[in-house]
Structure 1
Amino acid sequence: MASPSLPSQSIRQVRHALQALEALKRPGLDTGRLCQEFGLSQAVLEDPEQRIPYATLDALLERAVELSGEPHLGLLMAGLPVVDPDDVGSAVIATSPTLFESLERGVRYQRVWGDGERLALEPTERGVRMRYTPVGAWRPAHRYLAELVMAQLVIGVRLLTERNVVPLGIRFVHPEPEDTREHRERYGCPLSFRAPSNDIEFSHEDAALPLVHADALVHAIFERQAQRALSALPPEQGLASRVRQYLQRSLGGGDCSIAAAARALRMPPRTLQRKLAEEGQRYAGLLEGLRRERAADFLQRRVSIAEVSFLLGYSDPSVFHRAFKRWWGVSPETFRQRHAADPHTR
């Protein structure tokens, strides 16, 4: 159903939303009629390979709010348990060793659920922050989606750690609703509105919490399945994807500067920065994200630390050591020792 030129998401995401809407049982909200209105047949909804444009779900949620009169739709949808046993991305997250690594896997395999870099993980002085950027120009549905994603993260973290984890804070781009009692009860942490981005922050201590379903062997199996699912998808067309492809070729000997990337992509550096910002990305963030992912992979494959530093384009190994500790909370040596103790993580 999705046009190759439009960013799309897995039909599973739409199916989850519809199941949550049904469970709300709001008067006037008939999901069957809603699907008909947006051309979503039962055959399409049941085909796990289908992907549809983000704009379709955006419009559907806005119509659902119009029909139900429920302004906190996204927040309420998050409280409804919707489990898809075929969702390999969620299985990878649930079997990760720690909360931080589960968040990192969510970012790494997010394209299983939909195109674009909607999720980004970045270190902060107090811990780590997960940022959520809806696809496309802002519209009312993005409020519902942002509140849904943040609530799902809070609920998911508590389920996976079996701890009453309280985020350090949550920020939203949209204005503060008139009534935020439901928000404050659901999130249980300081809230900010009209912020630069939608994000949630966890402390260093919480990021290091082990997950109750962590299993190295099962995790490795699910991760291979997630990698195969990614490789089966058509190449992404966005600028961030093209920048990542350039960086993948240039790490370890090439020029990773934004000036070099801009030359390779035939545009001025300022234009590159502006277009990446329109996709919710930063050049430095893309470079650091790739280095972080590659560093973990190399160390688990027992590549020497000095060689990992070179392969990631660091001229000074001490700079790599500092960066690695910021990403993972431990030194490269400690990271290697932990993973060497378990043959299933290699």
Structure 2
Amino acid sequence: MQDAGVLLRIAYEAMKELDIDVVEVLSRCNISEEVLNDKNLRTPNHAQAHFWKVLEDVTKDPNIGISLSKRMPVFTGQVLQYLFLSSPTFGTGWERATKYFRLISDAASVSIKTEGDVARLSVNLDGVTEDANRHLNDCLIIGMFKFCQHVTDGEFKAKKIAFAHPHPENLAAYTSVFTCPLEFSAADNYIYFDANLLDRPSSHAEPELFALHEQLASRKIAKLELQDIVDKVRRVIAQQLESGVVTLESVATELDMKPRMLRAKLADIEYNFNQILADFRCELSKKLLANTDESIDQIVYLTGFSEPSTFYRAFKRWVQMTPIEYRRSKRVGN
């Protein structure tokens, strides 16, 4: 599961606002500042736990999720914002957001439920550890709250906020942001608000633009679904590699797909099977050489090569170093 790179860029801007040592944080998270400019960037969701642990460690702030989100710019400039603004009503905007929320994160989902005169916005997180969850919950809820205020020109008011994580030791950080009642250890993360607001007309409503924005969102979702194929291919390669026989045909069979269809799906997103296989072998080889004491013969086996000479030639082509030189370079000073 992955998150949109825009989330990291927003966090980066907030870190600078707070004078946090961004070089230290990014270095410890193995992120380069250059990659933040990639508009197609998506980051692995499992890295959230490490990111928040590093951030709390660097800042010594037990409520860093709240501190950071207070300085985060409003989530703007993305197709979901344009869908909201061009939607006929605030409620219609949320209907579309729930459909396309994967553009923001594979691990988060949102839904709206109305009970009488109260509407409830649910924010569900999947597969995030409890420690990361607390900071991420805080960040998402405050980010959602600010976004709702933005697209309603400040009319949005919360009746109650509920967090899935336990009651914090110090409530002051939360009451500095919210004046409404707060609940903790809830079944999910919720924002309760006046249901009448769902019918609020958008001051920027434009039917033709709304249709165009929805088409764009649909295309982006379709591209993500195709990208899922690459992830599935990599998982099968990992399973089959030790056998030494990994082919387009063997992977397609495992995925219950015809080889021609798999080749076409990969071509649609400008990938080819041989490159995915080579990249996987390269990454695995570098990891084994740098982080283990496995013999070269064992690494040859684990990466699916038939003999050492073939492995040596491939590795030299990938890294411009022999395996021995690469291992030595990674251990200098350790």
Q: Distance in 1 between matches of 2:60 and 2:40?
A: 33
1:62 paired with 2:53, answer yes
Where structure 2 has 5 or more consecutive residues not aligned to the other structure, the ranges are 229-334
Shift of 1:22: 1.6
Q: Cα gap change, 1:182/1:83 in structure 2, threshold over 3 Å: closer, same or farther?
A: closer
Equivalent in 15, 18, 21 of residue 15 of structure 2: 21
Equivalent in 176, 201, 213 of residue 222 of structure 1: 213
Q: Cα gap change, 1:48/1:223 in structure 2, threshold over 3 Å: closer, same or farther?
A: same
Q: Distance in 1 between matches of 2:171 and 2:93?
A: 29
1:138 is matched with: 129
Contact 1:160 1:213 in 2 (8 A): no
How do 1:236-275 residues align onto structure 2 when only pairs under 5 Å count?
A: none
Which structure has the greater CA radius of gyration?
A: 2
Shift of 1:191: 0.7
2:196 is matched with: 205
Where structure 1 has 5 or more consecutive residues not aligned to the other structure, the ranges are 1-6, 238-346
Contact 1:154 1:187 in 2 (8 A): no
Q: Distance in 2 between matches of 1:85 and 1:156?
A: 8
Shift of 1:200: 0.9
Contact 1:115 1:236 in 2 (8 A): no
Q: Report the TM-score when normalising by structure 1.
A: 0.60
How do 1:73-152 residues align onto structure 2 when only pairs under 5 Å count?
A: 73-82=64-73, 86-152=77-143
Q: Distance in 1 between matches of 2:138 and 2:192?
A: 15
Shift of 1:20: 1.3
Equivalent in 186, 192, 196 of residue 195 of structure 1: 186
Contact 1:127 1:207 in 2 (8 A): no
1:166 is matched with: 157
**SS of the residue 1:233 aligns to:** helix
1:261 is matched with: none
Q: Report the TM-score when normalising by structure 2.
A: 0.62
Q: Distance in 2 between matches of 1:236 and 1:194?
A: 35
4+ aligned runs moved over 4 Å, structure 1: 83-86
Equivalent in 14, 22, 25 of residue 34 of structure 1: 25
Contact 1:97 1:215 in 2 (8 A): yes
- Aligned-residue RMSD, C-alpha: 2.3
Q: Cα gap change, 1:79/1:132 in structure 2, threshold over 3 Å: closer, same or farther?
A: same
Shift of 1:97: 2.2
Shift of 1:86: 4.7
Q: Distance in 1 between matches of 2:105 and 2:55?
A: 21
Q: Distance in 2 between matches of 1:60 and 1:162?
A: 33
Q: Describe the superposition over 1:280-320 as per-residue Cα deviations: whole angstroms up to 9, x where unpaired.
A: xxxxxxxxxxxxxxxxxxxxxxxxxxxxxxxxxxxxxxxxx
Q: Distance in 1 between matches of 2:77 and 2:152?
A: 22
1:12 paired with 2:6, answer yes
Shift of 1:176: 1.6
Shift of 1:85: 6.1
2:322 is matched with: none
**SS of the residue 2:130 aligns to:** coil
Shift of 1:228: 1.2
Q: Cα gap change, 1:81/1:174 in structure 2, threshold over 3 Å: closer, same or farther?
A: closer
Shift of 1:140: 1.2
Q: Which moved more, 1:200-209 or 1:190-199?
A: 200-209
Contact 2:74 2:147 in 1 (8 A): no
**SS of the residue 2:192 aligns to:** strand
**SS of the residue 1:129 aligns to:** strand
The one-letter amino acid of 2:11's match is A
**SS of the residue 2:67 aligns to:** helix
Contact 2:45 2:107 in 1 (8 A): no
Q: Distance in 2 between matches of 1:196 and 1:119?
A: 14
Contact 1:160 1:212 in 2 (8 A): no
